[in-house]
Amino acid sequence: MIKYSPIDVSPDQFPPVTTRRDDATRDSLLRAADRLLVEQGPSALTVRAIANEAQMSTMNVYSRYGSKEGIVDELYRRGFASLNNAMNDVPRTDDPLDDLREIGAIYREFALENSTYYSLMFDRPVRYFEPSGESLSMAVDALHLLAQRVRRCMDAGQLAEGDETEVASSLWATVHGVVCIERFKDFTPIPDWERLYSTTVSAVIRGLSADS
């Protein structure tokens, strides 16, 4: 389950009582939706199911989030926030290329350990849901984080000079493809997915290297 901090309703903030109650209700609904997503997948995210899980009326979902899509958008945003934080946490060492490989490993780990969130973020399994502008900007932030690491590799002479965003997009498309197949691996007789993933990432990096 993706972790996130509860909404701050500490006494020193002195919000109105109604605001504290609304914040607590929003947080309870979001946690209920999070549990449903993690335990049952995106198809479980209905207004009634979320309300029942939170032991509230469906009106609370509509009054706090406007619709089911509103609460799904919040989950989508939290998913990308978690991915971005994981990528940001990879240290910047004196070997940018190793750092880039580590980000690739972190990406796979995130996708496999948060499979239902990953599905929500990339498969668009909830009918009629379209991410808000704020949520899409967080998705773009993830690409920019990867592009920054690619730029470090270029500046160090480890990757051929080019458009770092374009190269980052190519890398992302590659690792996303491998991860998606691994997530539905029943039909593919691959004994060691971690090795396959590492080999694929290394092959792409070799093709992008300054010496190729």
Environment class of residue 142 by beta-carbon count within 10 Å: exposed (0-12), middle (13-18) or buried (19+)?
A: buried
Is residue 196 within 8 A of residue 125, CB to CB? The reply is no
The CATH 1.10.357.10 domain(s) of the chain lie at 73-208
Please tell us whether the domain made up of 10-66 is placed in CATH 3.30.1180.20: no
Environment class of residue 48 by beta-carbon count within 10 Å: exposed (0-12), middle (13-18) or buried (19+)?
A: exposed
CATH, domain 73-208, list 1.10.1060.10, 3.40.50.300, 1.25.40.10, 1.10.357.10: 1.10.357.10
> What is the rounded distance in angstroms from the CA atom of residue 210 to the CA atom of residue 212?
6
Q: What is the pTM of this model?
A: 0.81
Residue 98: how many other CB atoms lie within 10 Å: 14
Confidence of residue 104 (pLDDT cuts 50, 70, 90): very high
Q: Per residue in 68-95, pLDDT tens?
A: 999 999 999 999 999 999 999 999 999 9
Q: Which residues pair with 209 in a beta bridge?
A: 159
Q: Per residue in 31-73, pLDDT tens?
A: 999 999 989 988 899 999 999 999 999 999 999 999 899 999 9
The CATH 1.10.10.60 domain(s) of the chain lie at 10-66
Assigned token pair, 13: 């903030």
